[in-house]
């Protein structure tokens, strides 16, 4: 047994095999890594003889799961960094080549990213790796909402997709969220198969570090402009024209925060199309990887994250606030009590109940006297059972799935293949699925429906 004293109090105890493994992994990293910051970070840890930290980050690998990867941006195999992302993209490519190489070569993949540090860089690594394997890549030319990935896969028939985002995590984190060819987030055992492919393809190819192919190959195209137009039209088409007119007549104004994320320009496009007016929180409307005005960029945190939105609303005399998380797949809402002046921040379960009722109401308006036995709504087991209560009273079907939209998206797809209509799905952590063509939570389409519901109530 070898003892290595780190600082004055920390002791790392490694047996001979562990020490050999650590030395091997350090040498491997030095050979493969090309990013100056992580190379310097390794030199510093070695200089400090910080073997506790080296053992943690070099001998333990971040696991590819059903949410892909998500973790701290830092040195080592246990974190998010250039080398780990390149290894992941290489493994995912190999998995897709085995799964359906014909589809992969024909329709390729879609790649999106948010405004976090390294997001665009890692999206471009992925695009270049696939393009060099003669696979078409639809690489968004700017930041986009996460639900655009699901929509694009379904629209273009892609073999899969990835969104580089850590959603509402702290600024130090990033992630690599993978979708299957069915436009849903991956589920077991796909995650395990991709993980195995990653582990078989760890050595980065020389070309994997080179993104110069971007802009010089017809294999990489930018769908952002067209897809944004199509998405806007799609979401607007799910709002009954009667209620669009009501939005315009009611003239409600909503304060909106993008929480330093990607949502503002997409939210504005959609809400403009359905006659809803928003006043943005100026300091939070543009992507900011530092999330400089919030400790946690998560509207679920309540007044702590909505503080600036509340100040903006009060300054303009608004009583309604809508919010997205940084990748715009979650939706939050707050309303001011005009009598007390207090703000009520609605929970995910409360919003799920209201949106569930609204989606059913809109369906019944457009399909008078339609039978309810083939209508479904979904929620996860951790969420309220309010949809089941409404379903019992109104005659439709409400079922529960395991936790996460990966399960609800796949279940919705299964039901639709059986000829069933899935109107809505929700989860307690302010995730809502309101548009059939998007098999994932979507904070923008949820906002379109909820603001229209507000106009309906306030009319």
In order along its 459 residues, the chain shows pLDDT tens digits of 344 433 333 446 678 888 999 999 999 999 999 999 999 999 999 999 999 999 999 999 999 987 899 999 999 999 999 999 999 999 999 999 999 999 999 999 999 999 999 999 999 999 999 999 999 999 999 999 999 999 999 999 999 999 999 999 999 999 999 999 999 999 999 999 999 999 999 999 999 999 999 999 999 999 999 999 999 999 999 999 999 999 999 999 999 999 999 999 999 999 999 999 999 999 999 999 999 999 889 998 888 899 999 999 999 999 999 999 999 999 999 999 999 999 999 999 999 999 999 999 999 999 998 999 999 999 999 999 999 999 999 999 999 999 999 999 999 999 999 999 999 999 999 999 999 999 999 999 999 999 999 999 998
SS percent in the chain: helix, strand, coil, step 5: 45, 20, 35
Q: Could you tell me whether strands 160-164 and 173-179 are parallel, antiparallel, or unpaired per DSSP bridges?
A: antiparallel
Q: Please, which residues have CB within 8 angstroms of residue 444's CB and are 6 or more apart in sequence?
A: 145, 147, 235, 263, 266, 267, 270, 324, 328, 331
DSSP 422: E
Asked if 380 and 408 touch (Cβ cutoff 8 Å), the reply is yes
pLDDT for the residue numbered 6: 39
Asked if 332 and 430 touch (Cβ cutoff 8 Å), the reply is yes
Q: Could you tell me whether strands 220-221 and 253-257 are parallel, antiparallel, or unpaired per DSSP bridges?
A: unpaired
Give the SS3 label for residue 322.
Answer: strand
Rounded to the nearest angstrom, the gap between the alpha carbon of residue 6 and the centroid of all alpha carbons in its chain is 39
Q: Could you tell me whether strands 253-257 and 137-139 are parallel, antiparallel, or unpaired per DSSP bridges?
A: unpaired
Please give the domain boundaries of the chain with CATH numbers for all domains. 24-221 (3.40.120.10), 228-346 (3.40.120.10), 350-429 (3.40.120.10)
Distances (CA, A) of 122 to 78, 117, 306: 17, 10, 30
Count how many Cα atoms sit within 13 Å of the Cα of residue 134 in the half-sphere of its side chain: 6
Catalytic residues: 167
Q: What residues does 380 pair with on adjacent strands?
A: 401
pLDDT for the residue numbered 247: 97
pLDDT for the residue numbered 302: 80
Rounded to the nearest angstrom, the gap between the alpha carbon of residue 87 and the centroid of all alpha carbons in its chain is 21
Q: What whole-number distance in Å separates Cα of residue 445 and Cα of residue 336?
A: 23
Distances (CA, A) of 156 to 103, 130, 161, 176, 183: 11, 17, 11, 21, 10
pLDDT for the residue numbered 443: 98
Written as one string, the DSSP assignment of 340-354 is T--EEEPPHHHHHHH
pLDDT for the residue numbered 343: 96
Q: Please, which residues have CB within 8 angstroms of residue 273's CB and are 6 or more apart in sequence?
A: 232, 233, 235, 236
Helix (H) or strand (E) holding 42, with range, is helix 36-48
pLDDT for the residue numbered 301: 85
The values of phi and psi at residue 365, to 5°, are -65, -40
Q: Please, which residues have CB within 8 angstroms of residue 325's CB and are 6 or more apart in sequence?
A: 167, 168, 259, 261, 297, 298, 299, 300, 332, 430, 443
pLDDT for the residue numbered 459: 84
pLDDT for the residue numbered 303: 80
């Amino acid at each position: 047994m070898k003892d290595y004293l780190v600082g004055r109090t920390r002791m790392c105890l490694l047996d001979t095999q562990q020490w050999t493994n650590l030395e091997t992994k350090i040498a491997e990293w030095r050979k493969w890594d090309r990013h100056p910051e992580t190379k310097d970070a390794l030199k510093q840890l070695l200089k400090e003889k910080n073997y506790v930290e080296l053992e943690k980050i070099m001998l333990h690998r971040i696991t590819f799961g059903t949410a892909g990867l998500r973790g701290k941006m830092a040195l080592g195999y246990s974190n998010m960094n250039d080398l780990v992302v390149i290894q992941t993209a290489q493994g995912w490519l190999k998995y897709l080549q085995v799964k359906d190489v014909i589809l992969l070569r024909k329709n390729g993949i879609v790649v999106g990213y948010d405004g976090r540090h390294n997001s665009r860089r890692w999206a471009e690594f992925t695009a270049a790796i696939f393009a060099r394997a003669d696979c078409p890549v639809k690489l968004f030319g700017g930041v986009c909402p996460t639900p655009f990935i699901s929509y694009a896969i379904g629209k273009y028939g892609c073999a899969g997709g990835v969104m580089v985002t850590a959603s509402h995590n702290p600024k130090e984190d990033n992630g690599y969220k993978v979708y299957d060819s069915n436009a849903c987030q991956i589920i077991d055992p796909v995650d395990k198969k991709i993980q195995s492919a990653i582990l078989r393809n760890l050595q980065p190819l020389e070309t994997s570090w080179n993104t110069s192919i971007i802009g010089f190959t017809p294999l990489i195209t930018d769908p952002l402009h067209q897809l944004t137009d199509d998405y806007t039209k799609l979401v607007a088409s799910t709002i009954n024209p009667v209620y669009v007119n009501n939005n315009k007549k009611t003239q409600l104004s909503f304060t909106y925060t993008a929480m330093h994320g990607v949502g503002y320009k997409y939210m504005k496009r959609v809400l403009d199309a359905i006659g809803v007016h928003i006043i943005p929180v100026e300091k939070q409307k543009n992507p900011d990887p530092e999330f400089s005005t919030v400790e946690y960029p998560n509207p679920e945190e309540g007044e702590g994250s909505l503080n600036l939105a509340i100040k903006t609303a009060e300054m303009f005399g608004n009583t309604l606030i809508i919010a997205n998380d940084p990748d715009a797949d979650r939706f939050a809402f707050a309303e001011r009590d005009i009598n007390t002046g207090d703000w009520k921040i609605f929970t995910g379960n409360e919003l799920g109940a209201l949106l569930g009722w609204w989606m059913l109401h809109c369906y019944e308006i457009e399909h008078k006297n339609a039978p309810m036995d083939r209508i479904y709504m979904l929620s996860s087991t951790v969420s309220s059972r309010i949809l089941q209560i409404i379903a019992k009273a109104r005659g439709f079907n409400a079922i529960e799935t395991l936790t996460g939209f990966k399960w609800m998206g796949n279940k919705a797809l299964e039901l639709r293949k059986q000829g069933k209509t899935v109107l809505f799905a929700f989860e307690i952590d302010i995730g809502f699925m309101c548009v059939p063509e998007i098999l994932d939570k979507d904070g923008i389409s949820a906002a379109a429906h909820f603001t229209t519901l507000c106009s309906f109530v306030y009319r």
